[in-house]
Amino acid sequence: MDTPPLDSFNNVANTLGSPLARSQDTEQIIIPCLYMRGGSSKGGFFLDSELPKDRIERDAVLLAAYGSPDARQIDGIGGADPLTSKAAIVSRSARSDADLEYTFCQVDLTREKVSTGGNCGNMLAAVGPYAVWRGLLKAQEGPNRVRIYTTNTDQVVEVTFSVKGGVPCVEGGTQVPGVPGSGAKVAIDFGDCAGSVSGKLLPTGNAVDVIDIDGMAVRVSLIDAATPFVYVDASDVGGDATATTEAIQADAELMRKLELVRGWAAAALGLVDDPAHAREVTPNIPRVIMISSPQDYMAGDTRVAAADINLCVRQLSMQKPHKALAVTGAVCTSVACRIPGTIVNTQMRGNTDHEIRLGHPSGALAVDAQVDDTPAGLKIRKAAINRTARLLMGGHIFVSRERIRALQPLVK
């Protein structure tokens, strides 16, 4: 297709003019924005060309647009939750191995910080459909395969989604735990996604490391696939890998220990010199996951049977328990399951010949991951997962110029 489906959207955008070049006597800037759900996350999608090039100014714009810092984000489009305080910045790619470029932004709720330290696979699911809506891709009827360069992790991911009548399909039978109903399948294959931050699948060179937590020796596994995650057995930190997010959040001592584990991993990755500075310097990367062997538990009103999963997982994101499981978390965990000797591998149970099923707070999620033991070392052959995505709203976001000016000196 030669013209984008959102003709009326683009006509309005042209009428308004370049939002960042409007006269200074206008109290608000006006930025085209599509609000989309990708997997179990949602947020604003922006063209790179329609945001400031300067990183400080861009982050100030996003913070003001989302209503941060404010735990309720009442004066912006943020949803008062890390899963709904995300942004995607998209452009065509000049790379020979990619069609699009995507930068993920995690907008902090309570601080003047926008983190781009890691990828978000859920938001990634909506990048292809967004590009069709905005005319970045010439979509064909039926399946469309797009190569997306993720700037956060310097990797190319293949995403396949369907188009009907010139627009991305919405209806279908694919279910995503944590998302009501079903939708059209968006297939994501991260391929060989090792070393997204560290350059190595095992950043420390070890499948297991023993660290000190409050004078106790605790076994952990640090894996860097899609996004780096550090894994700890729930029983070693006094946790429960079948607990609700509310119960985990209410356990201040457990949350403190999990941040200590994450701080160690941040230092091991070279992101901080002192683990105590991890929360301030790099709150989003690495992420931490508690695990246990499969157990029966309740995901809301639904019972998840131990026999139907291979592992129980509970992830934290931005120092809050994740209500489901990040796509990158699912990918990294499934890869960790395939690496002999990791605590993830030793706690895994059941048949994992074809896919690995991970039990999280919203249900069970299946990932197809394959890791080969080659003469050159472990190599990820496949890391694939299915998501859904949908355009929720298209229009323009209005952002206070004064708020942007006030935030710029404070952006971290």
Greatest CA separation for the chain: 65
CB-count burial class (<10 Å; 0-12, 13-18, 19+) for 147: middle
Tell me the helices (H) and strands (E) count for the chain, helix number first: 10, 21
Instruction: Return left, alpha or beta for 231; rule: phi > 0 is left, psi -120 to 50 is alpha, else beta.
Output: beta
Query: What pLDDT tens digit does each residue of the chain (412 aa) get?
Result: 456 777 655 554 454 455 444 544 589 999 999 999 999 999 999 999 999 999 999 999 999 999 999 999 999 999 999 999 999 999 999 999 999 999 999 999 999 999 998 899 999 999 999 999 999 998 999 999 999 999 999 999 999 999 999 999 999 999 998 899 999 999 999 999 999 999 999 999 999 999 999 999 999 999 999 999 999 999 999 999 999 999 999 999 999 999 999 999 999 999 999 999 999 999 999 999 999 999 999 999 999 999 999 999 999 998 999 999 999 999 999 999 999 999 999 999 999 988 999 999 999 999 999 999 999 899 999 999 999 999 999 999 999 999 999 999 999 8
Domain with CATH 3.10.310.10 in the chain: 7-185+390-410, 209-379
The string of DSSP letters for 281-299 reads H-SSSSEEEEEES---EEE
The candidate with the shortest Cα–Cα distance to 227, out of 272, 266, 263, 264, is: 266
Instruction: Return left, alpha or beta for 65; rule: phi > 0 is left, psi -120 to 50 is alpha, else beta.
Output: alpha
Cβ neighbors of 406 (< 8 A, separation 6 or more) are none
Fold of 7-185+390-410: Diaminopimelate Epimerase; Chain A, domain 1 (3.10.310)
CATH superfamily of 209-379: Diaminopimelate Epimerase; Chain A, domain 1 (3.10.310.10)
238 vs 227: CA distance, rounded Å: 25
CB 320 within 8 A of CB 365: no
The candidate with the shortest Cα–Cα distance to 232, out of 253, 250, 210, 248, is: 210
- Predicted TM-score (pTM) of this structure: 0.84
